[in-house]
Amino acid sequence: MSLTLNLDFQYTTTIEKLWNALTDSGKLAKWIANIHTGVPMENDFQPVVGYKFQFRTQPNEWWDGIINGEVLLVEEPNRLSYTWGSGDEVHTITWTLQELEAGKVNLHLEQTGISNAPALNGAKYGWSKWCGDLEQALAQ
């Protein structure tokens, strides 16, 4: 059975600034961090279809600290999709950006291919934290 996570976040920003926060390696490191330590994850992300990237953090006894991915879709500034994998788990992340009224942008996250409920809950916790940190990064 494959589970899907869907989350929506609204930010007071421009669609271009939010797109940049999702696609610029340096900006990604400001809001995607190790959930347990808060240390930013180094990454070599590039918004180029077919590009293979990694997010890296300190390993622990349960995990090697590496997330592997490959960019699947780039439709600037509205949609971005990539694989997101660690160990035997490989998911697909799709971000959809939509301008709203009053200078707000909706960011929709869909994560597919999740294998079980604990993994779904972990993904929900992680992305909710990171997207809260994203709001702070956008304000800088």
Per-residue pLDDT of the chain (140 residues; tens, 9 = 90+): 799 999 999 999 999 999 999 999 999 999 999 888 889 999 999 999 999 999 999 988 888 999 999 999 999 999 999 999 988 889 999 999 999 999 999 999 999 999 999 999 999 999 999 999 999 999 87
**Bridging pattern class, strands 104-114 and 3-12:** antiparallel
Strands of the chain (E only): list them. Answer: 3-12, 42-43, 52-56, 66-75, 79-86, 89-99, 104-114
pLDDT for residue 101: 93
Q: How far apart are CA 12 and CA 101, in angstroms?
A: 10
Regarding pTM above 0.85, the answer is yes
**Residue 36: what pLDDT?**
83
> Can you tell me the distance from the alpha carbon of 134 to that of 122, in angstroms, rounded to the nearest whole number?
18
